[in-house]
């Protein structure tokens, strides 16, 4: 793929303009960012329907998650709004004739479930077509337009809502979770029938003639099975009989039939211990041995589109960049060089035999936007969802490499402070979760990792891809297995030490933060590695690996791709890899935050660390719980509150007086009053 020189030039010019105006990015700016979250290319390849995420206005709107609007653009970027305002659209799909778009939304807030709507591309109001007996998850119109497949559960138990209102709200843990089924809706009669299949359904793909479909089934609807035990089944549409299954093992990504229906391509795992689906396979749609299309790829394949019956266009993440390439399913080809400039492509959608492909991508200068890809041409940006960013100053951002203490070369993203300090600047280290994920050199600023906001306030910010990250092949992603917290978190320390040696960071003013596994890294750093850090903020983090197995919803995933052991194999080993074991060493002021409904990392993980540090030390520690939030904050107000607390904690201990924690109140009442007056 060609380097996007033209796009890079525009970025430089935008940076020069922004620097001249010298308006820094603020947390309020971050809170207001709009992003493209889904894109679907029309059947004729001439238009793209996309969802635009629009945050609620803080102190103005009622609380809730961001809205999602439906827009449609041509391939020149002439975009039109279709369904906008206070609406949350959860899925979109083109009708087979390309004349209308189906979407899912709950437009009546008094309704129990969402509904299926249709809006014509040539104009008019959206019409409500169908409401299921429970919420619809995804929609998949058939290629011939004769039916609409959708995934959903059966109806709730009889009188479920009435009984809840009368106080009968007991939950039978895990057993009462309903399996997801594939349903077929006749768009003429609006009658739906379920296909009885051997498992709980998730992803879905039609064959080109609609006579068959492929569906991912897990043994149960529990997330642990969805993570580790799904396989692809091929089903006859008319009879609902299973014809074949692909024999996938481990984690599973997207899949699709070849245009002639003879094969299925899918993104899967090498084995059950592979931390992430990232290998591209092709197999006969009637079952049989699979073949890897991009063998020995030192990255992870994220998405793909069939070009024709013999070739696949694939999207990969390698290092801190992305690649967009073509591979033959019959010939073994070595991957090309990693893309060194241009936007970071996150996902693609296209149709076989067509040149244009819709893509969602970001860059250091903008969050997720809509692009079109054509052959080997540079990605063309179609949307500008946040024009105010042109008036903001962006600190220098670059990809760097450094060497771990055992000689392993690692990469990271560094955002420089807008102004250098003699003796080094305060540094914030932001550890990613997973650990089966990685940072790319794109947009690095969000509510939980406000990198450009930190940089504008004099911080250096580094995002290390420690061992166990994706983006460097399967072998690298397994390096942290059965080695919780040791070399992987030492890699994070080594990123810090590298920047201190470079003169950019002040060794005495370093903070660390992260969510989920990054929250684990933050708690570990505040305790076992406390001499290295002056402040820590842990979000939905793991504090006790033993109780994590007993309280979270992914024990088998943890066993297969993280611990490679059960707690009872060696209780003491597991305990020593837990921050609570080292809580008495904690000298680093620690702020812990999380949601009270987190199923992945139970809120008791935060409480355990808080209580152990508070009892065993005099070190400042604070616990903040967000009601009704899960594994990450979904609602606008909770996201903004989190950002304020994160930045204030770092300011207090890395730039301010330190000592006792800052007041727990944030002054929301004053901000609300000022907002009302404004």
User: Mind listing the pLDDT tens digit for each residue in 393-404?
Assistant: 999 999 999 999
Average pLDDT value over all residues in the chain: 94
CA dihedral of 243, 246, 251, 252, whole degrees rounded to 10: -70
Separation CA 10–CA 7 (nearest Å): 5
State the residue for tokens 């050199």. Answer: 441
Any idea what the Cα angle at residue 321 is, between residues 562 and 38, rounded to 5°? 85
3-state secondary structure string across 251-315: CCCCEEECCCCCEEEEEECCCCCCCCCCEEEEEECCCCCCEECCCCCCCEEEEEEECCCCEEEEE
For residue 648, the model assigns a pLDDT of 98
What percent of the chain shows pLDDT beyond 70? 95
Cis omega before residue 435 (within 30°)? Answer: yes
Average pLDDT over every residue of 511-527: 98
Encoded tokens for 530: 């406390």
For residue 341, the model assigns a pLDDT of 58
User: Rounded to 5 degrees, what are φ and ψ at 26?
Assistant: -115, 165
Provide the edge-to-edge strand list for the sheet that holds 255-257: 255-257, 263-268, 279-284, 291-292
Q: Is the pLDDT higher at 617 or at 7?
A: 617
Q: Residue 334, class by beta-carbon neighbours within 10 Å (0-12 exposed, 13-18 middle, 19+ buried)?
A: exposed
Q: What share of the chain is helix, strand, coil (3-state, %, to 5)?
A: 25, 35, 45
**In 307-452, which ranges are E strands?**
311-318, 321-328, 344-350, 356-363, 366-374, 380-381, 397-403, 409-415, 425-431, 445-446, 449-450
For residue 158, the model assigns a pLDDT of 86
Predicted structure pTM score: 0.94
Average pLDDT over every residue of 176-203: 97
Encoded tokens for 198: 């051997």
Break the chain into its structural domains and give their ranges.
Answer: 395-677
Encoded tokens for 366: 């903008």
Band of pLDDT at residue 161, cut at 50, 70 and 90: confident
The DSSP secondary structure of 422-466, one letter per residue, reads TT-EEEEEEE-SSSS----SS--EETTEEHHHHHHTT-EEEEEE-
For residue 335, the model assigns a pLDDT of 62
pLDDT over 50 at 596, yes or no = yes
pLDDT over 50 at 18, yes or no = no
For residue 230, the model assigns a pLDDT of 98
* Chain segment 339-362, per-residue pLDDT in tens: 555 899 999 999 999 999 999 999
Point out which residues pair with 255 in neighbouring strands.
266
* Chain segment 285-326, per-residue pLDDT in tens: 999 999 999 999 999 999 999 999 999 999 999 999 999 999
Distances (CA, A) of 576 to 527, 563, 582: 12, 13, 8
For residue 333, the model assigns a pLDDT of 66
* Chain segment 473-502, per-residue pLDDT in tens: 999 999 999 999 999 999 999 999 999 999
What percent of the chain shows pLDDT beyond 90? 91
For residue 512, the model assigns a pLDDT of 98
Distances (CA, A) of 557 to 226, 436, 481, 514: 10, 12, 12, 21
For residue 327, the model assigns a pLDDT of 95
Separation CA 16–CA 202 (nearest Å): 46
Q: Are 252 and 274 within 8 A, CB to CB?
A: no
Average pLDDT over every residue of 136-151: 98
User: Rounded to 5 degrees, what are φ and ψ at 256?
Assistant: -165, 145
For residue 342, the model assigns a pLDDT of 81
3-state secondary structure string across 87-98: CEEEEEEECCCC
For residue 21, the model assigns a pLDDT of 53
* Chain segment 423-457, per-residue pLDDT in tens: 999 999 999 999 999 999 999 999 999 999 999 99
- Report the CATH architecture of 395-677: 3-Layer(aba) Sandwich (3.40)
Q: Are strands 263-268 and 535-539 parallel, antiparallel or unpaired?
A: unpaired
Encoded tokens for 200: 């709980």
For residue 20, the model assigns a pLDDT of 47
Give the list of residues 6+ apart from residue 645 with CB closer than 8 angstroms, or none: 537, 591, 593, 624, 666
């Amino acid at each position: 793929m060609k380097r996007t020189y033209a796009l890079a030039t525009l970025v430089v010019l935008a940076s020069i303009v922004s620097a001249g105006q010298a308006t820094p990015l603020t947390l309020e700016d971050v809170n207001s960012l709009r992003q493209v979250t889904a894109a679907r290319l029309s059947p004729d390849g001439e238009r793209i329907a996309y969802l635009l995420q629009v945050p609620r206005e803080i102190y103005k709107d009622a609380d809730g998650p961001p809205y999602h609007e439906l827009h449609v653009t041509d391939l020149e970027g002439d975009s039109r709004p279709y369904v906008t305002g206070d609406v949350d659209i959860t899925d979109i799909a083109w009708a087979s004739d390309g004349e209308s778009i189906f979407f899912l939304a709950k437009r009546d807030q008094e309704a129990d479930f969402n509904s299926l709507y249709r809006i014509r591309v040539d104009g008019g109001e959206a019409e409500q077509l169908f409401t299921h007996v429970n919420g619809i998850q995804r929609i998949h119109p058939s290629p011939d337009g004769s039916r609409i497949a959708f995934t959903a559960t059966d109806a709730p138990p009889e009188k479920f809502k009435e009984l809840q209102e009368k106080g009968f709200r007991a939950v039978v843990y895990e057993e009462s979770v309903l399996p997801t089924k594939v349903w077929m809706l006749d768009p003429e009669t609006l009658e739906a029938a379920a296909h009885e299949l051997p498992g709980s359904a998730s992803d879905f793909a039609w064959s080109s003639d609609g006579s068959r479909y492929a569906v991912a089934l897990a043994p149960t609807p529990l997330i642990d099975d969805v993570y580790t035990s799904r396989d692809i089944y091929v089903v006859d549409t008319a009879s609902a009989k299973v014809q074949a299954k692909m024999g996938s093992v481990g984690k599973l990504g997207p899949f699709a039939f070849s245009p002639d229906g003879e094969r299925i391509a899918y993104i899967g795992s090498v084995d059950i211990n592979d931390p992430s689906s990232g290998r591209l396979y092709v197999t006969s749609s009637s079952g049989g041995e699979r073949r890897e299309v991009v063998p020995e790829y030192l990255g992870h394949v994220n998405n793909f589109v069939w070009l024709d019956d013999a070739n696949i266009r694939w999207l990969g993440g390698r290092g801190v960049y992305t690649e967009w390439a073509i591979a033959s399913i019959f010939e073994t080809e070595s991957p090309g060089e990693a893309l060194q400039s241009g936007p970071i492509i996150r996902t693609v959608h296209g149709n076989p035999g067509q040149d244009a492909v819709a893509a969602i991508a970001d860059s250091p200068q903008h969050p997720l936007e809509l692009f079109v890809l054509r052959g080997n041409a540079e990605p063309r940006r179609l949307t500008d969802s946040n024009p105010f960013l042109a008036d903001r100053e962006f600190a220098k951002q670059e990809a760097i490499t450094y060497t771990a203490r055992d000689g392993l070369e690692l990469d990271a993203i560094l955002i420089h402070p807008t102004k250098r300090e003699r003796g080094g600047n305060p540094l914030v280290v932001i550890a990613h979760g997973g650990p089966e994920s990685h940072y790319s050199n794109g947009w690095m600023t969000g509510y939980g990792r406000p990198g450009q906001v930190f940089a504008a306030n004099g911080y250096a910010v580094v995002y290390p891809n420690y061992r166990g990250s994706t983006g460097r092949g399967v072998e690298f992603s397994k390096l942290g297995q059965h080695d919780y917290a040791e070399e992987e978190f030492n890699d994070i320390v080594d990123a810090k030490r590298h920047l201190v040696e470079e003169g950019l960071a002040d060794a005495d003013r370093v903070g660390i933060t992260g969510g989920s596994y990054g929250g684990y890294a933050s708690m570990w750093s505040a305790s076992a590695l406390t001499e290295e850090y002056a402040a820590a903020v842990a979000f939905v983090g793991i504090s006790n690996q033993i109780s994590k197995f007993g309280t979270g919803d992914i024990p088998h995933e943890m066993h297969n791709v993280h611990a490679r052991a059960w707690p009872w194999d060696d209780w003491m080993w597991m305990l020593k890899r837990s921050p609570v074991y080292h809580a008495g060493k904690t000298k680093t002021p620690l702020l812990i935050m999380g949601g009270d409904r987190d199923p992945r990392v139970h809120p008791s993980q935060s409480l355990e660390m808080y209580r152990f540090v508070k009892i065993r030390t005099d070190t400042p520690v604070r616990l903040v719980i967000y009601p009704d939030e899960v594994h990450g904050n979904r609602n606008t107000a909770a996201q903004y509150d989190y950002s304020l607390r994160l930045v204030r904690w770092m300011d207090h201990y890395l730039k301010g007086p330190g000592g006792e924690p800052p007041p727990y109140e944030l002054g929301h009442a004053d901000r609300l009053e000022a907002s009302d007056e404004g």
